[in-house]
Amino acid sequence: MQTFKKIKEFYKENNKKTLVIYIVLRLLVIISMIWQLFRQNWSNVFLCVLTLILFTIPYFLDKKFKIELPTVLEIIILLFIFSAEILGEIQNFYGTFKHWDTILHTINGFLCAAIGFSLIDILNQNEKIRMKLSPIFVALVAFCFSMTVGVLWEFFEFGADTFFRTDMQKDRIITSMSTVTLHPEGKNIPVKIDNIYSTIINYLDKNGKEESKIIEGGYLDIGIIDTMKDLLVNFIGAVVFSLIGYLYIKNRDKYKFAEEFMPKARQN
């Protein structure tokens, strides 16, 4: 409660628009958490608590690390966290809206490139540092930073699916495949199969009883397409801001809007 009061005062001093959005989103998360408590869905209660903690990131970045976030970036971060955890996971927007996950990963690639870019740009403008990096190199570092974050997130999803039996790397139904596993002589020659209309899965339940399920519509791909799609759209977002950042360094006045997405070292 004390932390909430401090954050409230912080937003009051800096930007009232962000304060309104923060309070509205916080109330929605608390309402969602109460509802999940009634349903005794403890995993979703944990997600709500995690969301409330993540909402404090802008505040602690400013207070602990003296990093100031532009209003636009701050609002996007709050909305991004809410969209990913509450709407995406608890309200199942990932399943309801086909491109919800794609949109979030694209935004993530864009924002991470902006953060990586700003870190190098801050050093470039520091008079105590003699080395000055070229615009193309700064843009390249921003791109690599964004892609690294994207890859680490996919590692996290894979780890959660492997050790905690979640399904963060969403499965997908496909109707064609190419694999060397089905080659009759075991050769390294891919066998192409088209027009797959169903898959039968045989397995043993907890009691050792044999069960089977039929997946209509095709073959069940276990996460690889989802992972590669996420990395691809992260790549697109990273490229877009890296180009914007490059143009910004070349002409800061003309492309000043890029500053709305770039954290800055707070000036005392």
pLDDT score recorded for residue 54: 92
- Would the CA dihedral through 59, 61, 67, 70 be positive or negative? negative
Angstrom CA distances, 118 to 52, 73, 260, stand at 26, 12, 11
Q: Which residue has the tokens 């870019």?
A: 117
Give 58-61's long-range contacts (Cβ < 8 A, gap of 24+): 59/6, 59/7, 59/10, 61/263
The predicted-structure confidence for 191-202, as pLDDT tens digits, reads as follows: 999 999 999 999
The predicted-structure confidence for 73-88, as pLDDT tens digits, reads as follows: 999 999 999 999 999 9
pLDDT score recorded for residue 227: 94
pLDDT score recorded for residue 117: 94
Taking residues 31-38, what's their average pLDDT? 95
Write down the mean pLDDT value for the chain: 89
Interior angle at CA 208, CA 206 and CA 212, nearest 5: 85
How do the domains of the chain map onto residue ranges? 1-97, 101-167+223-268, 172-221
Q: Which two tokens stand for residue 247?
A: 């143009």
C-beta separation of 51 from 81 below 8 A? yes
pLDDT score recorded for residue 259: 93
The predicted-structure confidence for 131-172, as pLDDT tens digits, reads as follows: 677 889 999 999 999 999 999 999 999 998 899 888 888 888
Taking residues 237-251, what's their average pLDDT? 95
Taking residues 167-184, what's their average pLDDT? 89
pLDDT score recorded for residue 268: 57
Of 50-54, 65-69, 89-93, which range is least confident? 65-69
Phi (first) and psi of residue 224, to 5 degrees: -65, -40
What's the predicted TM-score (pTM) here?
A: 0.88
pLDDT score recorded for residue 132: 73
